[in-house]
A and B are shown apart, each in its own frame.
Chain A
Amino acid sequence: MTALCIKNLVKTYDNDVHALRGINLDVNEGDFFALLGPNGAGKSTAIGIISSLVNKTSGTVTVFGHDLDTDIVGVKSCIGLVPQEFNFNGFEPIFNTITNVAGYNGIPPREARKRAEHYLKRLDLWDKRRSTGRELSGGMKRRLMIARALVHEPKMLILDEPTAGVDIEIRRSMWEYLTEINSENGTSIILTTHYLEEAESLCRNVAIIDRGEIIENGSVADLLSQAMQETFILNLYEPVTEAPTIEPFKVRLCSEPNQLEVDVPKGHSVSDMFQALQSKGVVVGSLRNKSNRLEEFFLRLVNQSNKDSQ
């Protein structure tokens, strides 16, 4: 079943900022999915619309078959949200924060207390149950929001930049929690991030969002290998009818019979590629670089992450 299906989603804020310019997205049940993009790409806006915090301008959102426009209760019951910014009552004991949200989801008091105990223990916050939210450390606050998001046992957990600004150790333990939740209960997880490393080591599938548009969408492994290569268009002296096989290069035919497209992985030289082609009897006259927008995108991401950690 499709956990999340987004079609032509548009959001224009009142100040005329086009935060989403018609995005399409599908996430399968049980997936661990990353929405990867730099600051201001529109990640939080997309998450906000899915979780009813932001009104969409147009488009449709369907969550486990429930349409946001016609069955908002169905949509909300399927979703647990961990937002980018802290949004709990800092003056309330965290045990109450959890039981309140359980109550908002229709869970009666006795069961709410049981669940609060279970999820506070699970997120290592049980010792702190009588503390107020503002007395917690940054990592604990984030965990409080995860416990709160899980208390109604949603089919889909959405986390908006769960590890932005937290130190590497906490980030790793957060990754462990999330991996456990995903594998044990089959909870679908969607997280947004601007850390390439996070998407890479945690998620199976990824959509790349930039300036309000999804520019790529697929398995993490595929997208990474695409980014880690250069593609050339070769003009040949003589036309070929089939693409030669020359590992580790990938060769494809083009629409022009005397052209070939070749992927050269990082770390391999262009002259190796020429030699390999020559050994198959293919002679290259000239070549040009095909622009790689993924590479360009990743470079920008990495730059931003570096700035972040400085």
Chain B
Amino acid sequence: MSYWQLQLTAFLTIVRKEIRRFTRIWIQTITPPAVNALLYMLIFGGLIGSRIREVNGVAYMDFLVPGIIMMGIITNSYGNVVSSFFGSKLQKYVEELLVSPVSNATILAGYVTGGVARGIAVGSIVSLVALFFIDLKPVYPMATLCIAVLTSVMFSLGGLINAVYAKTFDECSIVPNFVLAPLTYLGGIFYSIDMLPPIAQKLSLFNPVLYMINGFRYGILGVSDIPLWQSFAVVFAFIAILGTIAMVLLNRGVGIKT
């Protein structure tokens, strides 16, 4: 067995295990985001949206849906990796990986792919829900898919870094609740930044989530506050930074070795 064969088998094992984990507890992992999305679409899109004129030249419901899908992808990619990796630390079965000849890059790739699988699964289900409200035909399908997957990779990396540092379950929910949620809600899911006062518009440009949501919206609707290349640039930059941090942490054994 060559080194690369070993790593590939190990990678597929981690991915299978990760997918099995979130599908086994699908009531906790897949249904809540679908219900959430349904409520957002009913209340904001249906009830309130019907009284809002067009945004960026499209009906409010059409404008809203890409953001809601993206919110599901972001939260669930992050949440999947943070809870799975933290669980493996808490019950110590991360040691199964540490004593095996699996490289840290393989571990990282495996967990991130698991997070992407969950993110894309949730994104797809939310998209199905959206079909009750709108006709969902992406204008640029490849760009849509790429942004979705890359964003999912980025937040999966974030979830892993969070899990490495976390010592309690509380520490797994601080970032999602106090950093991720505000950034997502202020990242242009519900509004176009054109609607904001100039200062808030400028500030919004520092919010990375804005670029992903707008990139995704561009893929689906062909309208966006942000040029598409900027969306890709931001998400690639974050993947590079977070990926490097995650590798350094794993190589040093932070939080998992003494």
Contact = CB atoms under 8 A, between A and B. Distances in A.
Contacts of A101: 96, 100
Nearest to B106: A104
Interface string A73-98: 10011010101011111100000110
Interface stretch (B6-14, B125-133, B179-187): B6-14
B12 A53 contact: no
Most B CB contacts (10 A, CB to CB) among A54, A89, A90, A99 go to A89
A88 B10 contact: no
B93 interface: yes
Interface stretch (A2-10, A20-28, A105-113, A114-122): A105-113
Interface string B91-104: 11101111111110
A97 B10 CA distance: 14
B257 interface: yes
A96 B14 CA distance: 12
B192 interface: no
B257 A55 contact: yes
Interface string A284-310: 000000000000000000000000000
B5 interface: yes
A265 interface: no
A13 interface: yes
A231 interface: no
Interface string B209-242: 0000000000000000000000000000000000
Given A73-B3, A100-B17, A87 B91 contact: yes
Contacts of B96: 87-88, 97, 100-101, 104, 148
A86 B91 CA distance: 8
Nearest to A48: B258
B204 interface: no
B1 interface: yes
Q: Place the interface of chain B in its size category.
A: 20 to 34
A190 to B, nearest CB: 14
Contacts of A87: 91-93, 95-96
B46 interface: no
B92 A54 contact: no
A103 interface: yes
Nearest to A14: B258
Q: Place the interface of chain A in its size category.
A: 35 or more
B101 A83 contact: no
Contacts, number: 83
A51 interface: yes
Contacts of B14: 103-104
Interface in B6-53: 6-7, 9-10, 12-14, 16-17, 20
B17 A105 contact: no
A100 B14 CA distance: 8
Contacts of A100: 13, 17, 96
Contact of A55 (B95, B99, B258): B258
Interface string A50-69: 01111100000000000000
A103 B10 contact: yes
A104 B92 contact: no
Nearest to A134: B91
A99 B97 CA distance: 13
Given A55-B257, A107-B9, A79 B99 contact: yes
B110 to A, nearest CB: 10
B9 A81 contact: no
Interface in B140-195: none
B253 interface: yes
Contacts of B7: 106
B88 interface: yes
Contacts of B101: 72-73, 76-77, 104-106
A309 B17 CA distance: 40
Contacts of A53: 95, 98-99, 257-258
25 contacts: A51-B99, A53-B99, A54-B258, A72-B101, A73-B6, A73-B101, A76-B99, A79-B99, A83-B95, A86-B92, A88-B96, A97-B96, A101-B96, A102-B13, A103-B9, A103-B14, A103-B16, A104-B10, A104-B14, A104-B96, A104-B97, A104-B100, A106-B6, A106-B10, A106-B101
Interface of A: 13-14, 48, 51-55, 72-73, 76-77, 79, 81, 83, 85-90, 96-97, 99-108, 148, 152
